[in-house]
Chain A
């Protein structure tokens, strides 16, 4: 692979890797060859002819497409001689035959590859005087993407993306000759979770995004590079704004994470930032119980007085903090310090009852990197449906299986987005995963073949909880198994924004900043730096809510947390919030939870503050600010610092950057991680810990957890679009939630007398709902699947027990 050949490009001799495509080799050595159809992340097709160059061959000069020609030793290439210039002019004249040149009213105008190439390489004039083709314009090909067919230059980037990259080829060329155009099938829109990528890679303005169309001209936009927090992969993005309003998000191509691609949730999920419902002032409750606007000092004073009273009377044990997964590391650190030092409590949890051990998520030994998927011989995905919960990771696994030849074993209670690329697919009933794991470990029964597929390493295991009906310990047992495989590494999966960063900053009852266990090595140093730590055992999110509902918590602080909607047992959360005498919320919106808060502080959101975040492999990257928050919002750290001061404690927090420096000193795993390095030398982020700075090395527990006996088990799992507060306030996404439904295997439906029913009644230990009934023959028998947090569906709780009856 590392063999090098010598090529002469425009008279200049350069050394390039053997076998590389000429267009890429030339680009890497400083010669840009124009192109439309070639994309570095997709296979070449040679469709547009823009990249034609002249090769010297023994039989004389030959014109070839640089995007399909691999370099060979001694090759002599001309990219700008007279012949090539004539050829380029010809190609562009042809491409413009049917192109409308409506640049003044086209979103792409100003950043359009066709426009730019015509300027740089075009003939300047066209001889075509006949009628161009016309189409109805624009037509929606999905809820998010519009198509102006007459602008299309038939480069097939969009269709290849949908087939090669995202695996949902719902758009294709249709008709022939002069009539060829991009089309979807009737009543089958391009409803891909990744449709927005086609807008970004279309070299003309044929594909535009409904959310951005006619909103700005490229030259009016300012941009800043940042990291997306819609999933935990840490995708690089460019946030683009005009006049203090974020208008679009584009993917940035970096090797370690998203390789340029984004899910539509990531691309279009920013609109909540500009929502008129954003909180812009602090709120207090008046005598009648209504929220009224308050000044910062009023609100802080009320909060400080009430919290101070409780601390004096009952101590830190009576105070709890929920949330923090949406914060930057700096804000999370401030919250962690605030909780431990000011409140004196270990009742902190950013994980909101997702169930996995925080130490497992933060510090698993043999943790894999996303990049390990490129070299993996085998991949085991046992956990959530990656397509629904980890979309860009899904693309990476898909690529590994489809393009790089890795064997892929997928284990899930029903169909997943990766099934069509899986070498082996196993389904099971949540609660019986232990039995299947035993078979997989032993290589017996129906897992025998899958076990064989995992025999050759390196193996990467992506493990998490398939759904809320699953015993969380199963994931750890699976991880323990992966570690026994040849060169086996594990990516433990959690899905909330910056949850890995929050855990690394100690927003878990058993963790302190820098992957230090509250009772373990390194805790003393932090105690010294902070001037003491609470010594009572902390409660996790479930424990906090249960204690609160039982009346044992007197102050509950919610930080960007909406437990009513966001924990599986929303009913418990509701009771907890009703019982706690004093609730403080730091948030961007009034949610079903913060609506009952006594004090609400308005906080800066994503794109409104600078900081760092940590992704699921432990990669620390910058997020950057491009717009101010609305009204009087403040960063979380400064709210907490102010509150601390009023409670008589100096936290010494002066700016996010200063906090970052403190983290780099106090938190062992983050030693040496500074903004300066991240901004300059380490643009792709730094995977922590760098050598030798990790006190906690968590070994996954090899106990597969409890077995569930009942006749039916509940599989309650997340899907891409739900009724979360940010999605609800992002118009582009708000309508995309599929809605509540209960899925049964047809055999089960028949057995339960629901063969032809349209609705069914679902009853669990924690709730009940009447939902539309859908048949799903990919479900394992005996499993009842309900998508989590859909509009209008009451919470059904975390337990596996469920009954389904005619409505």
Chain B
């Protein structure tokens, strides 16, 4: 559009740029690709930087202010660095009724930081979130947006300890459910094999998975 610094050199890796191109190709309107590209930008740098948003703006033909408007509306676009594992504890009504507050307290205590913060080593970020769509398996917790249902304060502590000691390259919902979950809302049918590698959802086309189907 020529109204923000144009022609700035891309900061992205060739693979990311290739991905951006293939995502853009799916949309008749370039600007519709803003949300997937924001995940790309986040995955590229670990979180969404101003430069990342400005780059997305160039790709989709919006201004950086417009991209920031979208990015700041959604809480899943992290605009501050997070720890390697983002632990999101649901505290909405179903989970709350089944003990979410205790689960959150256990996670905070074990991680050593209150919700909204990251531990000193940059390993764990704790947050509390609104309903994550697993009410049937409440209380629910996510690690890097991979879901674990039926978490208890004890298994929550184990989860945090496991993240620290095993330090998995990627986390996988099924594996964590096995280790730390109890009751499930329902069988999620097709098992999800790809694991998430950072504080953004695991999407194959965005390159935000561990790449092992």
Binding site for B on A (CB under 8 A): 167-176, 183-188, 415, 419-420, 775, 777-778
Give Cα A170 to B73, complex, Å: 17
Contacts of A415 in B (CB 8 A): 2
Tell me, rounded to whole Å, the shortest Cβ–Cβ distance linking A569 to chain B.
Answer: 31
Give Cα A281 to B72, complex, Å: 59
Check: B191 CB closer than 8 A to any chain A CB. Answer: no
Tell me, rounded to whole Å, the shortest Cβ–Cβ distance linking A183 to chain B.
Answer: 7
> Which chain B residue lies CB-closest to A166?
B3
Tell me, rounded to whole Å, the shortest Cβ–Cβ distance linking A749 to chain B.
Answer: 13
Give Cα A420 to B65, complex, Å: 17
Say yes or no: B4 contacts A172, CB within 8 Å: no
The residue from A168, A173, A775 contacting B69, defined by CB atoms under 8 A apart: A173
Check: B68 CB closer than 8 A to any chain A CB. Answer: yes
Say yes or no: B2 contacts A184, CB within 8 Å: no
- Contact A175/B73 with A169-B63, A183-B65 known, Cβ cut-off 8 Å: yes
The residue from A168, A169, A186, A775 contacting B50, defined by CB atoms under 8 A apart: A186
Contacts of A187 in B (CB 8 A): 50
Give Cα A775 to B9, complex, Å: 13
The residue from B2, B53, B65, B73 contacting A169, defined by CB atoms under 8 A apart: B65
The residue from B1, B7, B72 contacting A420, defined by CB atoms under 8 A apart: B1
9 contacts between A and B (CB under 8 A): A168-B3, A170-B3, A174-B68, A187-B50, A188-B64, A188-B65, A415-B2, A775-B7, A778-B2
- Contact A172/B66 with A185-B53, A185-B54, A186-B50 known, Cβ cut-off 8 Å: yes
Say yes or no: B68 contacts A183, CB within 8 Å: yes
Tell me, rounded to whole Å, the shortest Cβ–Cβ distance linking B131 to chain A.
Answer: 15
Say yes or no: B65 contacts A172, CB within 8 Å: yes
- Contact A175/B50 with A184-B65, A185-B65 known, Cβ cut-off 8 Å: no
Contacts of A778 in B (CB 8 A): 2
Contacts of A185 in B (CB 8 A): 4, 50, 53-54, 63-65, 67-68
Tell me, rounded to whole Å, the shortest Cβ–Cβ distance linking A533 to chain B.
Answer: 50
- Residue-by-residue, is B25-64 near A (CB-CB < 8 Å gives 1, otherwise 0)? 0000000000000000000000000100110000000111
Q: Which 10 A-B pairs have the closest CB atoms?
A: A172-B69, A185-B64, A185-B65, A172-B65, A174-B72, A175-B72, A168-B3, A176-B73, A420-B1, A170-B65
Contacts of A184 in B (CB 8 A): 65
Known A-B contacts: A172-B65, A173-B69. Give 11 more (CB < 8 A).
Answer: A167-B3, A168-B3, A169-B66, A172-B63, A175-B72, A183-B69, A185-B54, A185-B67, A186-B50, A187-B50, A778-B2
Give Cα A777 to B2, complex, Å: 11
Tell me, rounded to whole Å, the shortest Cβ–Cβ distance linking A191 to chain B.
Answer: 9
Binding site for A on B (CB under 8 A): 1-4, 7, 50, 53-54, 62-69, 72-73
Contacts of A169 in B (CB 8 A): 62-63, 65-66
Contacts of B62 in A (CB 8 A): 169
- Contact A168/B72 with A185-B53, A775-B7, A778-B2 known, Cβ cut-off 8 Å: no
Give Cα A185 to B69, complex, Å: 9
Give Cα A170 to B50, complex, Å: 14
Contacts of B2 in A (CB 8 A): 415, 419-420, 778
Give Cα A176 to B130, complex, Å: 14
Contacts of A174 in B (CB 8 A): 68-69, 72
The residue from B53, B54, B63, B73 contacting A168, defined by CB atoms under 8 A apart: B63
Give Cα A494 to B4, complex, Å: 29
> Which chain A residue lies CB-closest to B64?
A185
Give Cα A174 to B7, complex, Å: 25
- Point out which of B1, B7, B54, B66 has the most chain A C-beta atoms below 10 A from its C-beta: B66
> Which chain B residue lies CB-closest to A192?
B3
Tell me, rounded to whole Å, the shortest Cβ–Cβ distance linking A378 to chain B.
Answer: 23
Give Cα A184 to B64, complex, Å: 8
Give Cα A535 to B66, complex, Å: 63
Tell me, rounded to whole Å, the shortest Cβ–Cβ distance linking B170 to chain A.
Answer: 30
Give Cα A176 to B62, complex, Å: 20
> Which chain B residue lies CB-closest to A168?
B3
The residue from B3, B4, B7, B65 contacting A171, defined by CB atoms under 8 A apart: B65
Contacts of B1 in A (CB 8 A): 167, 420
Contacts of A170 in B (CB 8 A): 3-4, 63, 65
Tell me, rounded to whole Å, the shortest Cβ–Cβ distance linking A651 to chain B.
Answer: 51
Give Cα A418 to B109, complex, Å: 58
Contacts of A777 in B (CB 8 A): 7
Give Cα A183 to B63, complex, Å: 12
Tell me, rounded to whole Å, the shortest Cβ–Cβ distance linking A174 to chain B.
Answer: 5
Give Cα A415 to B69, complex, Å: 27
Give Cα A660 to B29, complex, Å: 56
- Contact A176/B7 with A184-B65, A415-B2 known, Cβ cut-off 8 Å: no
Give Cα A185 to B7, complex, Å: 18
> Which chain B residue lies CB-closest to A179?
B72
Contacts of B7 in A (CB 8 A): 775, 777
Give Cα A695 to B4, complex, Å: 49
Contacts of B3 in A (CB 8 A): 167-168, 170
Tell me, rounded to whole Å, the shortest Cβ–Cβ distance linking A430 to chain B.
Answer: 20
- Point out which of B65, B66, B68 has the most chain A C-beta atoms below 10 A from its C-beta: B65
Give Cα A777 to B5, complex, Å: 12
Contacts of B73 in A (CB 8 A): 175-176
Contacts of A183 in B (CB 8 A): 65, 68-69
> Which chain B residue lies CB-closest to A421?
B1
Contacts of B67 in A (CB 8 A): 185
Tell me, rounded to whole Å, the shortest Cβ–Cβ distance linking A621 to chain B.
Answer: 32
Give Cα A171 to B66, complex, Å: 7
> Which chain B residue lies CB-closest to A189?
B65
Contacts of B63 in A (CB 8 A): 168-170, 172, 185, 188
Say yes or no: A176 contacts B65, CB within 8 Å: no
Say yes or no: B69 contacts A188, CB within 8 Å: no
Tell me, rounded to whole Å, the shortest Cβ–Cβ distance linking B61 to chain A.
Answer: 8
Say yes or no: B72 contacts A176, CB within 8 Å: yes
Give Cα A441 to B72, complex, Å: 50
Give Cα A183 to B67, complex, Å: 12
Contacts of B64 in A (CB 8 A): 185, 188
Give Cα A706 to B3, complex, Å: 34
Give Cα A155 to B69, complex, Å: 15
- Point out which of A171, A185, A777 has the most chain B C-beta atoms below 10 A from its C-beta: A185
Contacts of A173 in B (CB 8 A): 69
Contacts of B72 in A (CB 8 A): 174-176
Give Cα A185 to B1, complex, Å: 16
Contacts of A188 in B (CB 8 A): 4, 63-65
Tell me, rounded to whole Å, the shortest Cβ–Cβ distance linking A772 to chain B.
Answer: 16
> Which chain B residue lies CB-closest to A190?
B65
> Which chain A residue lies CB-closest to B1?
A420
Give Cα A378 to B62, complex, Å: 26
Give Cα A61 to B183, complex, Å: 48
Contacts of A775 in B (CB 8 A): 7
Tell me, rounded to whole Å, the shortest Cβ–Cβ distance linking B127 to chain A.
Answer: 15
> Which chain A residue lies CB-closest to B5?
A188
Tell me, rounded to whole Å, the shortest Cβ–Cβ distance linking A84 to chain B.
Answer: 32
Give Cα A174 to B68, complex, Å: 7
> Which chain B residue lies CB-closest to A187?
B50
Give Cα A420 to B30, complex, Å: 14
Tell me, rounded to whole Å, the shortest Cβ–Cβ distance linking A47 to chain B.
Answer: 14
Give Cα A803 to B7, complex, Å: 26
Contacts of A420 in B (CB 8 A): 1-2
Give Cα A775 to B54, complex, Å: 20
Tell me, rounded to whole Å, the shortest Cβ–Cβ distance linking A176 to chain B.
Answer: 5
Contacts of B66 in A (CB 8 A): 169, 172
Contacts of A176 in B (CB 8 A): 72-73
Contacts of B50 in A (CB 8 A): 185-187
Tell me, rounded to whole Å, the shortest Cβ–Cβ distance linking A207 to chain B.
Answer: 15
Contacts of A171 in B (CB 8 A): 65
> Which chain B residue lies CB-closest to A184?
B65
> Which chain B residue lies CB-closest to A416?
B2
Give Cα A183 to B64, complex, Å: 11
Give Cα A775 to B67, complex, Å: 26
Give Cα A174 to B4, complex, Å: 18
Tell me, rounded to whole Å, the shortest Cβ–Cβ distance linking A285 to chain B.
Answer: 49
